Amino acid sequence: MEAVASGSDGASRSQQRVGIAYDERMCRHHTPDDEPHPENPNRIRAIWNKLQAAGITQRCEVLNAKEAEDKYILSVHGKSHVDLIRNISSKQFNSRRNRIASKFNSIYLNEGSSEAAYLAAGSVIEVAKRVAKGELDSAFAIVRPPGHHAEHDEAMGFCLYNNVAIATNFLLNEKELGINKILIVDWDVHHGNGTQKTFWKDPRVLFFSVHRHEFGSFYPASDDGDYTMVGEGPGAGYNINVPWENGQCGDADYLAVWDHILIPVAKQFNPDMILISAGFDAAVGDPLGGCRVTPYGYAMMLKKLMDFARGKIVLALEGGYNVTSISNSALACMEVLLDDKTVAGSTEAYPFESTWRVIQAVRQELKAFWSVLADELPTKLTSQKAHIPQILISSSDSEAEDVEELLQDVIRPLSTLRVDEDHYVLAESASVSWRSVLSKIDIWYATFGSNMWNPRFLCYIEGGQVDGMQKPCSGSMDKSPPKEILWKTFPHRLFFGMESTRMWGLGGVAFLHPESKNEDIVHMCLYKITLEQFNDVLLQENVSSYDMSSPLFDLTSLDCSKEKGSIDLEAVKNGWYHNVVYLGMEQDIPILTMTCIMSDIENFKSGKVPLRAPSEDYANTLIRGLVEGGQLSEEEAMSYIKDAATKPL
């Protein structure tokens, strides 16, 4: 990396020696036909232009990039992945580049992608090395493509190489640098799944990620970001996730997490250096994030971290898709690095109730590893809470116009990332029409598993959890209870399969054979709900990242299910209950259930997916449903479940 500009002399500069890595060549990575996309070259250009206009670049050592060496990248990524990214922009891949990109989750590739990926990783390595050596006090790598989603052998979530993870391994492996413990803080609105997996068993790295999670339904839509994921073996306790239950979290929420989790643990960990996966997509106005962090909030988060590692901090850009928001946020952070002055601004009074709930859950989970988290937070503190507003952005917000412009060009055609229409007003226009229509149509949702117990089913409508469930449900947008409940039997086979599930832990869960047989009988509880609510139940049952700007199951799907008997929903195919089965009519209202597809049945039969009896908690929930529903006695219900669990498919 070569210095290309700097301040005129030491006397006129701030006492802080701050580096900025920026290289226009990273802008050559863009969509193949220049289609609109959130992760585009204007992101880094806007930040660079903002810093120049504010006089920041003149006070820093500004550096152009050089490409990372493969030997450093291979400390994080597999050889096949490195070979692919190194060569993907060459002419030999011209005819198949788009096809290769389509196999990944939320990735595009073009003739400039290889160079940009190597420059991004190389930039973070170089500024990290200079800070470690003491040549710089701190630095900001304005890089793209971002990196924290990239895993060992897989590009995903706009990320090709995991820039921060590569730089972290570089620092730890270069022994002469004297860096033995590193704190990685990931404040991007999405979970840093790739970084987490890289250091899952490594006690030299404390990985901290605060992100929207919503019980695994927000991108990248997995359990990886849950607070129970704490690391393994020697790395147990060195992985800390703070998973938001909802959008709209702002300065007060983030600073509460800093004060009551991150800062105490950082003090106990005592890192030699801090790397920040500095995504600014939790900022006010971001079209994918749906949160409300202000530039003041980012500045305060950074300022609190400056007390550690003698201020040896490297920020590396991750996400952030509103160019106004990311530019203002980056400027606020650079002012902290340069001057360490008192940050001007203020925050809303209190965090959300859900924020306190998450903070307490994280502290409870991690207290065995970090003694500073052992004490209970005082009720006087946690009782100070704000209510979640129904609309995030109004026409009076200064950045709404920028967001609307981006929304028009980018977000509506982008289907792989979720925009939360529950709280994000700009997405409402895309979702309200189908919700309005489907809210007027009733269906019977026929349940055969734990949802037969009414309190359990209401978790999918009202949110929350009952005894035995490992985590709460987010609920439906329409929280109205079922209009009617009745019971019926159907000629289908009930069975139990899978080793474990994220909701119930170890043990099998209930499935319905999609095809009917006269000799079979299954008891089912029917709830009269709207087709809108059925869509929300479908989403929660399958834990998908589908954006809900359009329904999973609409009127056309309903007609198709009536005609064919069932319909496989491609949008949630990663779930186990994406096969919607039509069971006939009751009171001229269609009866629908959801179960696995026929190929899954074959996998259960062959043993590829195990058949397992249910856990005691899960079985008791079914028994309560059957008994309280007046269908069977407790003894009969126990026998019914035992027969379903032991009878061969």
Q: Which residues are catalytic?
A: 149
- What is d(CA 325, CA 401) in angstroms, rounded to the nearest whole number? 12
Pick from 649, 644, 646: nearest CA to 494: 644
Pick from 428, 421, 424: nearest CA to 393: 424
Residue carrying structure tokens 């389509």: 102
Task: Please check whether residue 215 is in contact with residue 472, taking contact to mean a CB–CB distance below 8 angstroms.
Answer: yes
Task: Please check whether residue 622 is in contact with residue 449, taking contact to mean a CB–CB distance below 8 angstroms.
Answer: yes
Angle at 536 between CA 534 and CA 540, to 5 degrees: 115
Alpha helices in 516-582 (DSSP H): 531-542, 555-564
Could you write out the DSSP letters of every residue in 268-288? HH--SEEEEEE--TTBTT-TT
User: How many Cβ atoms sit within 10 Å of the Cβ of residue 649?
Assistant: 13
Query: What letter does residue 615 receive in the DSSP assignment?
Result: P
425-438 vs 531-542: helix crossing angle, rounded to 10: 120
- What is d(CA 209, CA 3) in angstroms, rounded to the nearest whole number? 32
Instruction: Give the 3-state secondary structure of residue 364.
Output: helix
Beta strands in 109-190 (DSSP E): 138-141, 182-186
Beta strands in 547-625 (DSSP E): 566-568, 579-586, 589-595
Q: Please, which residues have CB within 8 angstroms of residue 357's CB and are 6 or more apart in sequence?
A: 245
- The H-or-E segment that residue 462 falls in is helix 454-462
Angle at 210 between CA 207 and CA 216, to 5 degrees: 105
Instruction: Give the 3-state secondary structure of residue 514.
Output: coil
Residue carrying structure tokens 């995504």: 279
User: How many Cβ atoms sit within 10 Å of the Cβ of residue 392?
Assistant: 25
Let me know how long the chain is.
649
- What is d(CA 188, CA 184) in angstroms, rounded to the nearest whole number? 12
Residue carrying structure tokens 């202000």: 294
Task: Please check whether residue 159 is in contact with residue 145, taking contact to mean a CB–CB distance below 8 angstroms.
Answer: yes
Sign, CA torsion 255/259/264/265? negative
CA dihedral 104, 105, 106, 112 (to 10 degrees): -20
Angle at 285 between CA 282 and CA 289, to 5 degrees: 35
Task: Please check whether residue 243 is in contact with residue 358, taking contact to mean a CB–CB distance below 8 angstroms.
Answer: yes
Instruction: Give the 3-state secondary structure of residue 293.
Output: strand
> How is residue 401 written in tokens?
């116009």
Which of left, alpha, beta for 340 (phi over 0: left; psi -120 to 50: alpha)? left
Angle at 228 between CA 468 and CA 242, to 5 degrees: 120
User: How many Cβ atoms sit within 10 Å of the Cβ of residue 133?
Assistant: 13
Longest distance between any two alpha carbons in the chain, whole Å:
90
